[in-house]
């Protein structure tokens, strides 16, 4: 069960989050006070200096009021200095990762995230990390600008082609494992259902230290809230945005072959020959997509996916159910 958020903010699941929230609420309440004060003054002055019968038609010059001028010059100056100092301190804390942080490589591409662990294991779409330990993400993009955003951790950073960017966080301790949601915060005009940055959803599984050790040994396993491999396969297909190219209705066969009735289908290949879609072919199609190219599908390339055997099983189980 995930901890609860507030009316304005999602749950604070990293050690850093409360710092952001304090600054946010400070600015929020200052804005509320200033807004109310300005509105009250506005109404009062409108009333006080309204046009009256027999009154002056033009306001009189009132001269200087030094105390007042100093007040409205120095109050914002002091306030902005405080805000800058506060914001900069928090920014530096977020920018410099501790030396003992676990390093995870994050690769972004249209339209999915992929994670690589210190032991070389790669998981597409979802990240598993231990709670209460600093984690540093070293991020790069294979194509366009992306932006890694985890609202519950209060972190966000652009992922830029041609360079590495990094950020770090430490997920809070909780009695049980919990999840955080990752978004890509890059703007684009695409509708999320056929790809686009808004479809780059990813999950961070925050687990206990021993669960993390087990994960590094055994690889990813089916999320505990799913009953069958078929359901896990469906989740993996969603998380990795297969459906931004492949469709599940038989009629839509572009830009990639439809998933409808895929299992057992006969497929002609580029360069001649034919295959029957079976487990081995699906596995190969996902791990090394360029090994066999379906005839006429040369316009776009399917990127290779690093799935574990268990994940491959789950996706095959799911693909078998699409008719
Ligand atoms: Cu993106």
Give tens-digit pLDDT for 137-148: 999 999 999 999
- The rounded Å distance from CA 247 to ligand 1 centre is 21
User: How many domains would you assign to the chain?
Assistant: 2
Does residue 192 share a domain with residue 254? no
pLDDT at 57 over 80: no
State yes or no: pLDDT of 78 exceeds 80: yes
User: What is the residue range of 263's domain?
Assistant: 229-320
- Round to whole Å and give the CA distance between 149 and 157: 7
Residue 195 reports pLDDT greater than 50: yes
At residue 164, does pLDDT exceed 70? yes
Interval between CA 136 and ligand 1 midpoint (Å): 19
Q: How remote is the CA of residue 273 from the centroid of ligand 1, in Å?
A: 37
In this prediction, residue 82 carries a pLDDT of 96
Angle, in degrees to the nearest 10, between helices 17-48 and 66-95: 160
Per-residue pLDDT at 306 exceeds 90: no
Q: Of 178, 199, 218, which one is at a domain's C-terminal end? A: 218
Distance (Å) from CA 138 to ligand 1 centroid:
16
Whether 256 is covered by a domain: the verdict is yes
Residues with CB under 5 A from ligand 1 (ion): 146, 184, 186, 197, 200
How far away, in angstroms, is 167 Cα from ligand 1 center?
A: 17
Is the pLDDT reported for residue 2 higher than 60?
A: no
pLDDT at 60: 74
For residues 211 and 234, membership in a common domain is answered with no
Give me ligand 1 centre to Cα 147, in Å.
6
8 Å CB contact between 230 and 317: yes
1 has a pLDDT exceeding 50: no
Q: Regarding predicted confidence, which is higher, 219 or 38?
A: 38
pLDDT digits (tens, 9 = 90+) for 220-275: 888 878 899 999 999 999 888 898 889 999 888 888 999 999 999 999 999 888 99
Question: What's the CATH number where 312 sits?
Answer: 1.10.760.10
Query: 237 lies in a domain?
Result: yes
What CATH number is attached to the domain comprising 146? 2.60.40.420
pLDDT in tens, 265-295: 999 999 888 999 999 999 999 999 999 999 8
Per-residue pLDDT reduced to its tens digit, 91-145:
999 889 999 999 999 999 988 899 999 999 999 888 999 999 999 999 999 999 9
pLDDT at 95 (0 to 100): 87
**Using 50, 70 and 90 to split pLDDT, how confident is the model at 192?**
low
Q: How confident is the model at residue 194 (pLDDT cuts 50, 70, 90)?
A: low
Q: Are residues 175 and 249 in the same domain?
A: no
- The answer to whether residue 304 sits within a structural domain is yes
Residue of 7, 5, 30 whose CA lies nearest to 18? 5
Residue 184 alpha carbon to ligand 1 centre in Å: 5
Q: How far is CA 319 from CA 26, 190, 258, in A?
A: 51, 26, 11
Mean pLDDT value of segment 212-221:
89
Asked if the structure places residue 246 within a domain, the reply is yes
Single out the residue in 193, 218, 243 at which a domain terminates.
Answer: 218
Can you tell me whether residue 120 is helix, strand or coil?
coil
The domain boundary, picked from 218, 243, 278, lies at: 218
Q: What pLDDT score was predicted for residue 3?
A: 67
Q: How far, in Å, is the centroid of ligand 1 from the Cα of 111?
A: 6
How far away, in angstroms, is 208 Cα from ligand 1 center? 29
Q: What is the 183 CA–ligand 1 centroid distance (Å)?
A: 8
248 with 201, same domain: the answer is no
């Amino acid at each position: 069960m995930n901890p609860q958020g507030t009316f304005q903010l999602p749950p604070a699941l990293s050690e850093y989050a409360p710092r952001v929230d304090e600054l946010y609420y400070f600015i929020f309440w200052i804005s509320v006070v200033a807004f109310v004060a300005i509105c009250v003054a506005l109404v009062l002055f409108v009333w006080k200096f309204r046009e009256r019968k027999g009154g002056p038609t033009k306001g009189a010059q009132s001269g200087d009021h030094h105390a007042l001028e100093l007040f409205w010059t120095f109050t914002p100056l002091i306030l902005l200095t405080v805000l800058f100092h506060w914001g900069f301190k928090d920014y530096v804390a977020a920018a410099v990762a501790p030396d003992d942080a676990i390093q995870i490589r994050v690769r972004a591409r249209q339209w999915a995230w992929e994670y690589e662990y210190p032991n070389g294991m790669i998981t597409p779409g979802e990240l598993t990390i231990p709670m209460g330990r600093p984690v540093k993400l070293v991020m790069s993009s294979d194509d366009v600008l992306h932006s890694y955003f985890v609202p519950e951790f209060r972190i966000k950073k652009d992922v830029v082609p041609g360079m590495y960017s990094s950020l770090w966080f430490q997920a809070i301790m909780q009695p049980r494992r919990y999840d955080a949601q990752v978004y890509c915060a890059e703007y684009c005009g695409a509708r999320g259902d056929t790809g686009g940055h808004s479809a780059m959803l990813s999950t961070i599984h925050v687990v206990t230290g021993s669960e993390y050790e087990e994960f590094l040994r055994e690889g990813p396993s089916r999320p505990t809230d799913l009953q069958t491999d078929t359901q896990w396969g469906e989740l993996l297909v969603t998380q990795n945005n297969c459906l931004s190219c492949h469709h599940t209705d038989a009629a839509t066969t572009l830009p990639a072959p439809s998933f409808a009735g895929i299992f057992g289908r006969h497929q002609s290949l580029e360069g001649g020959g034919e295959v029957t879609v079976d487990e081995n072919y699906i596995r190969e199609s996902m791990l090394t997509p360029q090994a066999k190219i379906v005839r006429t599908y040369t316009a776009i390339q399917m990127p290779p996916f690093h799935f574990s055997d268990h994940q491959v099983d789950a996706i095959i189980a799911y693909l078998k159910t699409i008719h």
